[in-house]
Amino acid sequence: MDRKSLIEFYKETDYKTKSLSIRGIPPRPSEWNVPLFIKKIYPENKDIFKNSINNNQFEVKLVQEDLEFFKALLLHESLFNFYKAFYNYLCALKLYDGGLQHWIEITAYYAKFYLANSIIALTGKSRYIVTGSSKNFVEDIYKLVNKNGYQSNIRKNGSFVASYARYGIEININPSLNEGKLIITKDLGSGGSHGHVWNKYSDIDTKKIGVTELTHSYPQHLTEERNLENYSFEGYRQLDFNLELDNFKGYFQREYIKNQSNLIYTSETAIILGVIGELFNLFEELKVNELPIEKEKLIHMCKYTLGESEQSKKLSDLICSGFPTKNKYLDEYHWYESN
């Protein structure tokens, strides 16, 4: 799949009408997502689902009408992750002034993670784990895809205990062929698996859609580094508290971090801002009418979060100019790194 076929796939997608069909006004992310959609349509489409079950899973081929709906829904999901990535990017910038190296690294990781999720959804893939405690859980679906599991969750009095129940939903669309399928199965593994996201991301040749790779090495190393920093004795390197006070003060300082507090491309965020700009321009190039990818919203987030700082002024200017690949703020970062 290349950029041209992706743009062709989303051509004339009716995003606004599909989104307004949920409740008549623009839906929040919690009000428009695949598990919720499946719960709503299942009662009227039981036969379709039951006729498509094979080896304890539903596999429904998506007809053109389905594809039109899922195009809009995947755009919605991709945009949600895009805005989350930008939000985390802003959070990381905000931390530079305090020299807070640990949380800059962790927050930058999550910005990359959400960008990966955004790209995965935009290219037609998505995955969800629906647990028994979720308001979107459908007992009948669980019973059909996992009969043994269902029986083991029946109490002696005949009531069903949903606490340990779960099933997986997967959307798999090929934009190049304009075809896809919906799969509901008894298990897709861990719903919070960062490894799964990076595996899916690794399957995408992002260069073909005009987006820079988030890392030039094995993507899962990003999760490994996050885990090392967050959960091991190797993390929180500023907190060498056994040192004498004067030495502790000197070691805690991270002046090379603070010195980047006026930059918008930094040692941890340069690749993030680059991909944010590329994705923004890809969303615009899709030419989907009334798609809520708007400079004004990004600028508002920027000014509200960063105030009247140099970072805020530079970032607002970059957004206004449409995230050009070559710009003076990237040159500024390169100058900083070389001096």
How far apart, in whole angstroms, are the C-alpha atoms of residue 173 and residue 178? 7
Integer Cα distance of 61 and 43 in angstroms: 18
Domain boundaries, the chain: 1-12+84-122+204-339
Taking the alpha carbons at both ends of the chain, their separation in whole angstroms is: 41
Sequence-separated (6 or more) residues with CB below 8 Å from residue 85: 111, 112, 114, 115, 118, 272, 276
- CA distances 43 to 23, 40, 168, 244, Å, are 19, 7, 18, 67
The secondary structure of residue 26, as a DSSP letter, is P
Give, for 106, the enclosing helix (H) or strand (E): helix 101-122
The per-residue DSSP string of 255-275 comes to HHHHTTTT-SS-TTTHHHHHH
pTM: 0.92
210 has a pLDDT exceeding 90: yes
- Summarised one tens digit per residue, pLDDT across range 48-98 is 888 898 888 999 999 999 999 999 999 999 999 999 999 999 999 999 999
- What tens digit of pLDDT does each residue of 143-173 get? 999 988 888 888 878 788 888 899 999 999 9
Give tens-digit pLDDT for 249-281: 888 888 989 999 999 999 999 999 999 999 999
Q: Does the structure show a pLDDT above 90 at 20? A: no
User: Looking at the DSSP assignment, which residues form a beta bridge with residue 170?
Assistant: 127, 183
What is the tens place of the pLDDT at every residue in 84-94? 999 999 999 99
